[in-house]
Structure 1
Amino acid sequence: MANDCEGPLYTVEDLEGMPDDGRRYELVDGALHVSPAPGYRHQKVVVKLIVLLDGACPNGLEVLTAPFAVRPSTTLELRPDVLVARCEDLTEKLLPVAPVLAVEVLSPSTAVHDLNTKKAVYERLGVESYWVVDPGELALTAFELDAGGRYEQVAEVKGDDAFDATVPFPVRVVPAGLLGPLRK
């Protein structure tokens, strides 16, 4: 896919020279995307998800958090908030292939990017399951690849409603539980 943005075409080598300033630097087909450091609610959801997923994760899979990179090419590097990958696919520094699950936690500054650009890239890469968590709405939307390799929405739950995931492994997620006392 061509870089449709005006400006230079970036590579992963360029990312390595970016400042360590708390921002998230990602590449989508050579276009640089910079997101501000996540806030408290965002981080709380990520921590709760990591604990929940790690507790249910079977042998052969690993649960990791950003800034661990998914880097399938020299012009594409994403850093999902949470990912689940096959152990044999991982290197010490990155994941060179699609994870089996990518999770993005929405922030006001990243929502459009997460719901559109990243979703399309994860679909193109063949990420089996993609979850989007909205900490403001206490909501989780889950997508899974259908037989044609396109995302189909398989769940949308809010508040105390539960999502009983089967992909990549069985786990129950309740959006309100991801914030604990912060939900009020």
Structure 2
Amino acid sequence: MSLIDNREEMTYAEYLKWDEGKRCEVLDGQVISMTPARTPDHQRVLRELAVEFAMYLRGKECETFTSPIDVCLFDKKKTDINKIKNWVQPDLIVVCDENKIDNKRIIGPPDLAAEILSPSTAKNDRILKFNKYEEAGIKEYWIVDPYNQVIEVYLLEDGTYQRQGMFFRKDVIKVNILSDLEIDLKNVFLIEAEEEYEDKV
């Protein structure tokens, strides 16, 4: 995506001056996406994933958050906002370090991030964000395909993502960063997929 107003770079300080409700994601100072309206399929999957994580984490050290929430991938609370040039809004995150939870944003990489694919975001989620999440040190990354009802799980090993597996509606996923959480994907993909879709990611 081309930059807004043809700017060469954007900082988080500039972004904070935008009107409330107007959002974007930026990597290396470059705008990679504006927040689009979500489809019903996207909303259903995100809702059910959030329920699974939230119920398990209630009363525990880690917390889960859903988009829209800014995640400043490489920064600390003392970082000058004029120097922040990487922030994203993953669909779902899990944060186990309370020091990363600021009043208005998440500062530093979460422990887990999940992105739900759409035709307009698939390239960002599979390439741009994949690489930045790996670089930032997010331990576990889920790429969720609501159209084909599959979740790809990547684990960070020696600084590089390794695919743990692909999990379908009939499967149960073990959440690697949490010791005993398993999610039955029939509770996430509530409606059986049609055999064909007009648009696939």
TM-score, normalised relative to structure 1: 0.87
Write out per-residue CA displacement over residues 135-177 of structure 1, whole angstroms, 9 at most, x where no aligned residue.
Answer: 000000001111x211010121112122222224432234443
Amino acid of the structure 2 residue aligned with 1:8: E
Which structure 2 residue ranges, 5 or more long, are not aligned? 1-5, 76-83, 195-201
Amino acid of the structure 2 residue aligned with 1:38: R
Alignment-derived partner of residue 44 in structure 2: 44
After superposition, the Cα gap between the structure-2 partners of 1:112 and 1:174, relative to the gap in structure 1 and judged at 3 Å, is: farther
CA distance in 2, matches of 1:108, 1:46: 16
Counterpart mapping for 1:1-184 below 5 A: 7-20=7-20, 24-35=23-34, 36-57=36-57, 59-71=60-72, 72-73=74-75, 74-86=84-96, 87-146=98-157, 148-181=158-191, 183=193
3-state secondary structure, aligned to 1:60? coil
After superposition, the Cα gap between the structure-2 partners of 1:50 and 1:167, relative to the gap in structure 1 and judged at 3 Å, is: same
3-state secondary structure, aligned to 1:103? strand
Amino acid of the structure 2 residue aligned with 1:68: I
3-state secondary structure, aligned to 2:191? helix
Higher-strand-fraction structure: 1
Q: Percent identity?
A: 25
After superposition, the Cα gap between the structure-2 partners of 1:108 and 1:18, relative to the gap in structure 1 and judged at 3 Å, is: farther
Write out per-residue CA displacement over residues 99-158 of structure 1, whole angstroms, 9 at most, x where no aligned residue.
Answer: 000000001100111011101101100000000100000000001111x21101012111
3-state secondary structure, aligned to 2:95? strand
Amino acid of the structure 2 residue aligned with 1:27: V
Runs of 4+ in 1 over 6 A off after TM superposition: none
Q: CA RMSD in A?
A: 2.0
